[in-house]
A and B are shown apart, each in its own frame.
Chain A
Amino acid sequence: MAAQNGHPPGMRIILHVWRQRSASSPGKFVRYEAQANSHMSFLEMLDVVNEELIERGDDPIAFDHDCREGICGSCGFMINGEAHGPLSGTTVCQLHMRHFKDGEELYLEPWRARAFPVVKDLAVSRSALDRIIAAGGYISVPTGSAPAGNAIPVAKDKQERAMDAAACIGCGACVAACPNASAALFTSAKIAHLGLLPQGQPERQRRVISMVAQMNAEVFGNCTNIGECEAACPKLIRMENIAFMNRDFLRASWTTRGDSMRRVE
């Protein structure tokens, strides 16, 4: 494989990968040696390892990935205790081997949270995040009922801030990195995205009440403003959004009248 087609300088990486057949079965770390080179992406390095495993007749390592461009949010696991690895603002699919040293030893672990059951090896299920969105992370506008695009002007800075929050790719690294396994950053990013826009105002209070309730129902930890999530987030979503969510939640809790809240089973 890559080892043969030599150039550029190859490197040897020692991997300790969490292998777990299914959610129910027990897991353990297994040691592998990878022949990589500095041009490879981290996932390409794993591809090479898997090719060799297949040649040897061993079950290849399962990990989620799709776009490999840092935008779909499929990929993600812990590299030596860091979500998406050592490079800030980068998903693991955009992380390249040139950021590692020859002979380096790496521990790969799946996201660990009760709400993210392991599917296999490094792949987990993140449907809990979908349910949080389903609880209210939208603007109710049935197809066809929209006013003209320019009917409601949106201040440029508001739109920019909304876009900053909307950049969340739903990868779950914030939950994985948070010592409390809290989904505060993910949830607040959507609440801020929609809450900052004029289009999002009508449902603003109901949205925050429902999404927070769902976040709790999924048994994510609470946020104690530690800030590991912000550091791990590949899209640099700010903790400011968490404060935004807290503020909206407090306001909504005491001002809503007989309004109803959604729960998603």
Chain B
Amino acid sequence: MQLDSKVPSGPIETAWDRARFEMKLVNPANRRKYSVIVVGSGLAGGSAAASLGELGYNVRCFCFQDSPRRAHSIAAQGGINAAKNYQNDGDSIYRLFYDTVKGGDFRAREGNVYRLAQISLNIIDQCVAQGVPFAREYGGTLANRSFGGAQVSRTFYARGQTGQQLLLGAYQALERQVAAGTVTMYPRTEMLDLIVVDGRARGIVTRDMITGEIEGHVADAVVLGTGGYGNVFYLSTNAKGSNATAIWRAYKRGALFGNPCYTQIHPTCIPVSGEYQSKLTLMSESLRNDGRIWVPLNKGDKRPPSRIPENERDYYLERRYPSFGNLVPRDVASRNAKVVCDEGRGVGETGLGVYLDFADAIKRLGQRTIEERYGNLFDMYYQITGENPYEVPMRIYPAIHYTMGGLWVDYHLQSTIPGLFVIGEANFSDHGANRLGASALMQGLSDGYFVIPYTLGNYLASTKLDKVPDDHPAVRDATANVTGITTRLLNTKGRRSTGSFHRELGRIMWEYCGMARNAQGLQTAIGRIRELREEFWREVRVLGTHDEFNQALEHAGRVADFFELGELMCIDALHREESCGGHFREEYQTADGEALRNDAEFSYVAAWRYCGENAPPDLHREPLTFNYVKPTQRSYQ
């Protein structure tokens, strides 16, 4: 299949304008006649549903939480980037574009990234007008901070709750449309299949999570904003409900999956404390500005940190990266933590952790300053671990945080199935092989507020769509498929809980497809995942019935998809014989242990097509060309 990115040719600065001008418009009077399904109420889905409703389309919006306001975007802490250059420190659309392409380790599509940087300006205006209480200066103007090692201050934030406030803005706009009658909201309703008619996406099949009713919804177009799939690792910073089911079932209906192996690992999370651990909690990266990261010099040194003398400590980041020290990018910091722990020098009960020490900072700046800067984070740490970081060093460990991969989409955010649009973290996104901090919120809102309204309209205006009856064979087929899966899960009546399978899958993924990967390990993983998946379908025990509120059943369905997705991630990681961004192949590294890209052979998007139950997926390449930002080797020495 030829993958056409549809990025307009010609100067990148005017590409989006030209694209918009060329798009067909839907007559306002006719919009009501078009029905659009938006799956997801996060920053991407919520903003899309609200904006499409405003335009007058007949929108149905779905989410699995009991309220659209609880989408996982709510958890984003740090902030959102925009090239406003309010700080007069030399930022510009071009610089944000440049930083994002470089940060993505030259595996992102230039056209999309440039548009993202342009739209970032409108996003801030829109959110401010909605009443998002961004931090302000005394003069009443918007405040900024520098984030994730960026050299300019372009990050807008609302305390440590930026995602929450942005999402509430979108949620309120959405509820406004619900009241206006343009959007119908379906909370606690899970999408379990995609309805494809004559090669076009024409609806979805859902399960009402309270009554268990399985229902087909037909529409003229479907938009997926269903978030990331980090939970394939079981332990991640994602919410417990975050899942890949929507995009995975779309993949099985023919949508190509882009760069599944690109996952981002966040270096500063609270370490695992035991088998029962249910999720990992992120601690803002800003902690690395003042904290010093170290482990004991000698392996197996179990003395309490206070009793380990200075000369028996190894400040390994400062040692290896004199110029950047503790502020090296996420992936570098994470990998080094893994290395020292693998050497047996990890700290804490599990030995999977490193110290983040504020003793010096407190000596230098005084406890007051540290309190002002990190008070809430220290409290959170104390609340979870029961240890006081003002006295004992924090323990941190990397955790899965974000998935750059997702369904492949073109410049119009349309997948390879016409009429199926994918936005936010769910698409393979504008972040290439690694995402810069504070850029995901930007992308979600850009997609939902400012891209989809045009591109979706263009699709509807330029496509002849005849009515699909509710009992169309495709609808019945998809509904039957869903019922089949549900019944199969309930009838397996095995001996193992879904949770135990999920944890085991997570361990395999983390071990072989996590921070550092190698061919042999990935092969092992593929084998183990297949075995585990077979055992799952033999041994899983899902209690209760299909026609009631059944959280175990929901979980089982999601884990079933994670097995298949996990395998695809390993296949992709195995095929990509280079290291780039979040994908680090041990075989491909520079002398000083840096990711070693192979632009000659791998400067492309790997988009995989589903070829049936046990057939290997086939690979389609979208070549990446860089006319503006010339690929260079990252170095943080």
Contact B130 A139 (CB under 8 A): yes
State which of B74, B168, B239, B275 has its C-beta within 8 Å of the C-beta of A68: B239
Q: A163 and B158 in contact (CB under 8 A), knowing A2-B274, A67-B239, A133-B172?
A: yes
In the complex, which residues of chain A have a beta carbon less than 8 angstroms from the beta carbon of B72? 66-67, 72
Give residues of chain A (42-59) contacting chain B, Cβ–Cβ below 8 Å.
Answer: 43-45, 47-48, 51, 54-55, 57-59
Q: In this complex, which of B133, B188, B240 has the most chain A Cβ atoms within 10 angstroms of its Cβ? A: B133
State which of A8, A58, A126, A193 has its C-beta within 8 Å of the C-beta of B66: A126
Closest residue of chain B to A190 (Cβ to Cβ) is B172
Interface presence of B447 (CB below 8 A): no
Chain A nearest CB from B353 CB (Å) reads 13
Closest residue of chain A to B178 (Cβ to Cβ) is A134
Chain A nearest CB from B376 CB (Å) reads 11
Give residues of chain B (436-452) contacting chain A, Cβ–Cβ below 8 Å.
Answer: 449-450
Q: Which of A102-110, A117-125, A216-224, A225-233 contacts B (4 or more CB under 8 A)?
A: A117-125
Interface presence of A154 (CB below 8 A): yes
State which of B138, B173, B450, B552 has its C-beta within 8 Å of the C-beta of A156: B138
**0/1 string, A137-151, CB within 8 A of B gives 1:** 111111111111110
Range of interface residues on B (Cβ < 8 Å): 35 or more
Q: In this complex, which of B140, B179, B281 has the most chain A Cβ atoms within 10 angstroms of its Cβ? A: B179
Interface presence of A205 (CB below 8 A): no
Give residues of chain A (178-200) contacting chain B, Cβ–Cβ below 8 Å.
Answer: 193-194, 197, 199-200
In the complex, which residues of chain A have a beta carbon less than 8 angstroms from the beta carbon of B138? 156
Interface presence of A11 (CB below 8 A): no
Contact A54 B543 (CB under 8 A): yes
State which of B134, B386, B453, B549 has its C-beta within 8 Å of the C-beta of A96: B386
In the complex, which residues of chain A have a beta carbon less than 8 angstroms from the beta carbon of B158? 163, 166
Contact A143 B70 (CB under 8 A): no
Q: A43 and B129 in contact (CB under 8 A), knowing A67-B74, A133-B172, A156-B140?
A: no
**0/1 string, B517-560, CB within 8 A of A gives 1:** 00000000000000000000000010110001101100000000
Contact B278 A68 (CB under 8 A): yes
Contact A134 B176 (CB under 8 A): yes
Contact B175 A38 (CB under 8 A): no
For the complex, what is the distance from the CA of A91 to the CA of B176, rounded to whole Å? 28
Q: A71 and B164 in contact (CB under 8 A), knowing A7-B349, A149-B125?
A: yes
In the complex, which residues of chain A have a beta carbon less than 8 angstroms from the beta carbon of B175? 130, 133-134, 137-138
In the complex, which residues of chain B have a beta carbon less than 8 angstroms from the beta carbon of A199? 128-131
Interface presence of B277 (CB below 8 A): yes
Contact A143 B50 (CB under 8 A): yes
Contact A66 B65 (CB under 8 A): yes
For the complex, what is the distance from the CA of A44 to the CA of B273, rounded to whole Å? 12
Chain B nearest CB from A74 CB (Å) reads 5
**0/1 string, B260-277, CB within 8 A of A gives 1:** 000000000000011111
**0/1 string, B275-287, CB within 8 A of A gives 1:** 1111101100000
State which of B65, B125, B210, B275 has its C-beta within 8 Å of the C-beta of A119: B210
Contact B552 A68 (CB under 8 A): no
State which of B47, B54, B240, B543 has its C-beta within 8 Å of the C-beta of A60: B543
Contact B276 A2 (CB under 8 A): yes
State which of B130, B276, B541, B549 has its C-beta within 8 Å of the C-beta of A44: B276
For the complex, what is the distance from the CA of A125 to the CA of B189, rounded to whole Å? 13
Interface presence of B15 (CB below 8 A): no
Interface presence of A86 (CB below 8 A): no
State which of B69, B135, B275, B541 has its C-beta within 8 Å of the C-beta of A130: B69
Report whether over half of chain A's contact residues are helix, strand or loop; otherwise say mixed: loop
Chain B nearest CB from A211 CB (Å) reads 11
Contact A43 B278 (CB under 8 A): yes
State which of B47, B140, B171, B383 has its C-beta within 8 Å of the C-beta of A154: B140
Contact A166 B168 (CB under 8 A): yes
In the complex, which residues of chain B have a beta carbon less than 8 angstroms from the beta carbon of A125? 66, 188, 210
Q: A1 and B142 in contact (CB under 8 A), knowing A74-B70, A135-B179?
A: no
Chain A nearest CB from B95 CB (Å) reads 18
In the complex, which residues of chain A have a beta carbon less than 8 angstroms from the beta carbon of B453? 143
Chain B nearest CB from A255 CB (Å) reads 22
Q: A69 and B281 in contact (CB under 8 A), knowing A96-B384, A135-B179, A156-B138?
A: yes
Contact A72 B276 (CB under 8 A): no
- How many interface residues does A have (CB within 8 Å)? 84
In the complex, which residues of chain A have a beta carbon less than 8 angstroms from the beta carbon of B548? 21-22, 120
In the complex, which residues of chain B have a beta carbon less than 8 angstroms from the beta carbon of A21? 548
Interface presence of A241 (CB below 8 A): no
Chain A nearest CB from B550 CB (Å) reads 8
Closest residue of chain A to B282 (Cβ to Cβ) is A69
Interface presence of B499 (CB below 8 A): yes
Contact A44 B178 (CB under 8 A): no
Contact B240 A68 (CB under 8 A): yes
Interface presence of B484 (CB below 8 A): no
Interface presence of A251 (CB below 8 A): no
Contact A62 B551 (CB under 8 A): yes
Q: A141 and B129 in contact (CB under 8 A), knowing A59-B543, A71-B164?
A: yes
In the complex, which residues of chain A have a beta carbon less than 8 angstroms from the beta carbon of B161? 71, 167
For the complex, what is the distance from the CA of A73 to the CA of B66, rounded to whole Å? 10
In the complex, which residues of chain B have a beta carbon less than 8 angstroms from the beta carbon of A159? 133-136
Interface presence of A262 (CB below 8 A): yes
Contact A37 B130 (CB under 8 A): no
Contact A40 B274 (CB under 8 A): yes
Interface presence of B148 (CB below 8 A): no
Interface presence of B598 (CB below 8 A): no
Interface presence of A260 (CB below 8 A): no
Closest residue of chain B to A46 (Cβ to Cβ) is B278
Contact B70 A66 (CB under 8 A): yes
Give residues of chain B (368-398) contacting chain A, Cβ–Cβ below 8 Å.
Answer: 383-386
Contact A133 B171 (CB under 8 A): yes
Give residues of chain B (137-186) contacting chain A, Cβ–Cβ below 8 Å.
Answer: 137-142, 158-159, 161, 164-165, 168, 171-173, 175-176, 178-179, 185
In the complex, which residues of chain B have a beta carbon less than 8 angstroms from the beta carbon of A67? 70, 72, 74-75, 239-240
Contact A150 B86 (CB under 8 A): yes
13 further interface pairs, Cβ-Cβ under 8 Å (given A22-B549, A90-B383, A197-B133): A7-B274, A66-B70, A71-B74, A73-B69, A119-B188, A133-B69, A133-B172, A139-B172, A141-B173, A143-B453, A149-B124, A163-B158, A199-B129
| A–B pairs, 27, beta carbons within 8 Å | A22-B548, A37-B274, A38-B386, A39-B273, A44-B277, A47-B276, A48-B276, A60-B551, A73-B67, A74-B65, A90-B383, A98-B386, A119-B188, A125-B188, A130-B185, A133-B172, A141-B126, A141-B130, A143-B450, A149-B86, A149-B124, A152-B128, A159-B133, A166-B168, A169-B164, A199-B129, A199-B130
Identify the A interface with B (CB < 8 A): 1-2, 4-5, 7-8, 21-22, 37-41, 43-45, 47-48, 51, 54-55, 57-60, 62, 64-69, 71-74, 90, 94, 96, 98, 119-120, 123, 125-127, 129-130, 133-135, 137-150, 152-156, 159, 162-163, 166-167, 169-170, 193-194, 197, 199-200, 262, 264
**7 interchain residue pairs of minimum CB distance:** A153-B140, A138-B172, A146-B129, A134-B175, A120-B549, A2-B276, A163-B133
